[in-house]
Amino acid sequence: MAKKTYDLLFKLLLIGDSGVGKTCILFRFSDNHFTTTFISTIGIDFKIKTVELRGKKIKLQIWDTAGQERFHTITTSYYRGAMGIMLVYDITNEKTFDDIVKWLRNIDEHANEDVEKMILGNKCDMEEKRVISKERGEAIAHEHGIRFMETSAKLNINIDRAFSELAEAILDKSAGREADADHARIAVERRPSRAPPARACCS
Amino acid sequence: MSLHKARIKAFEDILNEDVINMEQLQKLAFNGVPDEKGLRSFVWKILLHYIPQERSAWESTLLKKRQLYQQFIDEIIVSPGGPTDHPLNLSPDSSWSNYFKDNEVLLQIDKDVRRLCPDISFFQSATEFPCPEIVNSNGVKRLHKRVEQSVLKYSTLERRGLGVAKLSNEIRRNEGVNSGDYTPLNEGCEAHWEVVERMLFLYAKLNPGQGYVQGMNEIIGPIYHTFASDSNKEFRKHAEADCFFCFTNLMAEIRDFFIRTLDETESGINYMMSKLSECLKKNDRAVWEQLQRQELRPQYYSFRWLTLLLSQEFSLPDVERIWDSLFADPQRFNSLIYICCAMILLVRDNILSGDFASNVKLLQNFPPMDVSLILNKAVEISTA
Ligand SMILES: Nc1nc2c(ncn2[C@@H]2O[C@H](COP(=O)(O)OP(=O)(O)OP(=O)(O)O)[C@@H](O)[C@H]2O)c(=O)[nH]1
Ligand SMILES: [Mg+2]
């Protein structure tokens, strides 16, 4: 067996509408760089980054998915193995925010029950074009009992923090398990520790 | 005569016949079409069944098609009449509702064409032949203008019932969308990406069952680039119309890759991916087994390879060379499978020694390589 250079392996997934900045977020996190010239993702892309949390080396295997509807059959097949999912919207685009509900439904249908989730409101550097207030983002996250953060891939705001918080949440859950090449395939049987569902909001 | 000159002559000989011998042309083009004298541009038009084999029909066909394209522009973009009923008319087929739906499509196209081939400056530069009705309209007919406005959305209107006054405020606020170097050019000029945007929008409007799917921009891009760089001015002038129809013909063959509900059919993308996997299994069992063991599924890399005909995996000149072979193959999509399989075989040693992560990376970012190596290998596989 090859020598392990990490203690734990976490599989993460980035989802959200096309153009919200998923690829930019991932690129900022893995290469600490921002460029405006990304081609749209077709199918699925993949990056790896190792982080250290509480003295443990954690290898993050991150899948970046295409946002457009057409690719959903391809991309939903990745939900199952994911231990953490980042759901991204664009604070300057109302539709991407409205679609969060749709993405959450997708997660419910296709992901492991106790997958750790996080909602990111990206492009928070564009204050002058903002149409979704931070409060609305917080509200929907709270309603579903999910972590929330506003980010900017462009100005590198909260990108590292978002990934380490998500990783930490998974770590909390999986504490005690040993690194194992097949680790990701072990289904986690524990009940999800979801916050009590808030009553549906009537606007 | 040099070898290269001899090749050019061989093409010219075939093209000078009264009736082009398709089989001969395909055979010759399979090994690459020279870029000189607009040969590639012309040969692709024949291979994609746009220009007919009979020389006598060339002129009238081109004339007819180009007029038809102009008509599409007029009817769909220049004078569609605009929405007529009240913006708050929410019936699903109100003209406003359609207008907003179109704008959603346009928004997606706009995002994608502004990201087209960023490594070369071609698409950001001005075309010699802008569409006069559009570029001299004080901006109002420009498609990206509509997109800037559509940022205020249907949903906003629908949900909150904003008044029309508020609506025009929003329009003003959203102007000047920042878009890097892909900025629209001044009145009277038009960048190549704007031309591509127009073709894709027309295609989506004329093929409502399919609409626009991301990735189509990567299919139309190389065709348009080839046509718009033709050394023959007359062909350059009509690059847009010609490209539109060639793209339409090509899409007729591959559109099932872009339709989700057809994924499982024999013309769909899943079938193609499993064919590739079979081809690999047959040609290199060890590599196939390694990928199986690592659960590295074909979707992780070959979905994009196949859907986009490899256009995102190589530089533009290499893509054009690969497409010579694809378009020249009478069983076009067999050769696509062989080429993809050849790519995997050429990095087999790396795959055999790599772990899951490095192998996904390798296949998703295929290393730069002499394409003739790949194409030769593909021929080898196909005749094995
Ligand atoms: N201002 C600003 N722009 C951003 C930010 N993140 C991404 N963008 C821009 O948003 C556009 C889309 O970004 P991508 O990362 O390609 O979007 P995506 O979510 O991966 O889109 P798909 O691959 O089509 O699903 C790009 O033009 C980026 O320049 C950000 O934090 N701030
Ligand atoms: Mg992307």
pLDDT digits (tens, 9 = 90+) for B341-381: 999 999 999 999 999 989 999 999 999 999 999 999 999 99
Task: Decide if B215 and A40 are in contact by the 8 Å CB cutoff.
Answer: yes
How much of chain B, in percent, has pLDDT values that exceed 70?
A: 83
Token pair of B370 as six digits: 């002499």
Q: What is the pLDDT of residue A179?
A: 46
Give the closest ligand to the alpha carbon of residue B214: 1
Q: What is the mean pLDDT of chain A?
A: 84
Considering only alpha carbons, which residue of chain B is nearest residue A126? B178
What are the tens digits of pLDDT across the range B215-240? 899 999 999 999 999 999 999 999 99
Give the closest ligand to the alpha carbon of residue A21: 1
Q: Phi and psi of A56, rounded to 5°?
A: -105, 140
Cα–Cα distance measured from residue A105 to residue A108, given in angstroms and rounded to the nearest whole number: 5
What are the tens digits of pLDDT across the range A61-78? 999 998 887 788 777 878
Task: Spell out a b/e string for A160-178, using b for 16 or more CB atoms within 10 Å of the CB, else e.
Answer: eebbbbbbebbbebbeeee
Assign B209 a pLDDT band (cuts: 50, 70, 90).
confident
Residues of B in contact with A70 (CB under 8 A): 213-214, 258-260
Q: With contact defined as beta carbons under 8 Å apart, do B147 and B155 qualify?
A: no
What are the tens digits of pLDDT across the range A144-199? 999 999 999 999 999 999 999 999 999 988 764 544 444 444 444 334 444 444 44
Q: What is the mean pLDDT of chain B?
A: 84
Residue B54, min C-alpha distance to chain A (Å): 39
B155 pLDDT higher than 50: no
Work out the average pLDDT over B53-78: 93
Assign A1 a pLDDT band (cuts: 50, 70, 90).
very low
Cα–Cα distance measured from residue B274 to residue B271, given in angstroms and rounded to the nearest whole number: 5
The one-character DSSP state at B231 is S
Q: What is the pLDDT of residue B84?
A: 59
A6 pLDDT higher than 70: yes
Residues of B in contact with A74 (CB under 8 A): 299, 303
What are the tens digits of pLDDT across the range B306-355? 999 999 999 999 999 999 999 999 887 889 999 999 999 999 999 999 99
Q: What is the pLDDT of residue B94?
A: 62
Work out the average pLDDT over A81-108: 95
What are the tens digits of pLDDT across the range A117-131? 999 999 999 999 999
Assign B80 a pLDDT band (cuts: 50, 70, 90).
low
Residue B62, min C-alpha distance to chain A (Å): 33
Question: Which residues are in the CB-under-5-Å shell of ion ligand 2?
Answer: A 22-23, 41
Assign A202 a pLDDT band (cuts: 50, 70, 90).
very low
ipTM of this complex prediction, to 2 decimal places: 0.74
Token pair of B198 as six digits: 């127009």
Q: What is the pLDDT of residue A187?
A: 40
Q: What is the pLDDT of residue B141?
A: 75
Q: What is the pLDDT of residue B282?
A: 96
Say which of B104, B156, B258 has its CB closest to residue A94.
Answer: B156
Cβ neighbours around A186 below 10 Å, total: 10
What is chain A written as a DSSP string? -PPPS-SEEEEEEEE-STTSSHHHHHHHHHH----S-PPPP-SEEEEEEEEEETTEEEEEEEEEE--SGGGHHHHHTTTTT-SEEEEEEETT-HHHHHTHHHHHHHHHHHS-TT-EEEEEEE-TT-GGG--S-HHHHHHHHHHTT-EEEE-BTTTTBSHHHHHHHHHHHHHHHHTTPPP-TTGGGSPP-SPP-PPPPPPPP--
Assign A40 a pLDDT band (cuts: 50, 70, 90).
confident
Q: What is the pLDDT of residue B144?
A: 77
Task: Decide if B303 and A39 are in contact by the 8 Å CB cutoff.
Answer: no
C-alpha A127 to ligand 1 mean position (Å): 16
C-alpha A167 to ligand 1 mean position (Å): 23
What is each CA distance from A200 to A94, B143, B160, B248, in whole angstroms?
20, 40, 19, 47
Q: What is the pLDDT of residue B89?
A: 58
Residue A1 near chain B (CB below 8 Å): no
Residue A76 near chain B (CB below 8 Å): no
C-alpha B214 to ligand 1 mean position (Å): 15
Give the closest ligand to the alpha carbon of residue A17: 1
What are the tens digits of pLDDT across the range B110-125? 888 887 877 778 888 8
Say which of B218, B303, B361 has its CB closest to residue A43.
Answer: B303
Q: What is the pLDDT of residue B50?
A: 96
B157 pLDDT higher than 80: no
C-alpha B11 to ligand 2 mean position (Å): 41
Task: Decide if B116 and A39 are in contact by the 8 Å CB cutoff.
Answer: yes
Q: Phi and psi of A199, rounded to 5°?
A: -65, 145
| Residue A95: Cβ-neighbour burial (10 angstroms; 0-12, 13-18, 19+) | middle
Cα–Cα distance measured from residue A78 to residue A184, given in angstroms and rounded to the nearest whole number: 12
Q: What is the pLDDT of residue A142?
A: 96
Give residues (CB < 6 A) around ligand 1.
A 18-24, 36, 38, 40-41, 66-67, 122-123, 125-126, 152-154
C-alpha B154 to ligand 2 mean position (Å): 24
- Return the H-helix or E-strand segment holding B191: none
Ligand 1 atom, smallest distance to A16 CA: 19
Considering only alpha carbons, which residue of chain A is nearest residue B157? A94
Cα–Cα distance measured from residue B359 to residue A48, given in angstroms and rounded to the nearest whole number: 12
What are the tens digits of pLDDT across the range B6-57? 999 999 999 999 999 999 999 999 999 998 889 999 999 999 999 999 999 9
Q: What is the pLDDT of residue A102?
A: 94
Question: Among B214, B259, B315, which would you mutate to test the A interface (most chain A Cβ atoms within 10 Å of its Cβ)?
Answer: B214
Comparison of pLDDT for B94 and B253, the residue scoring more: B253
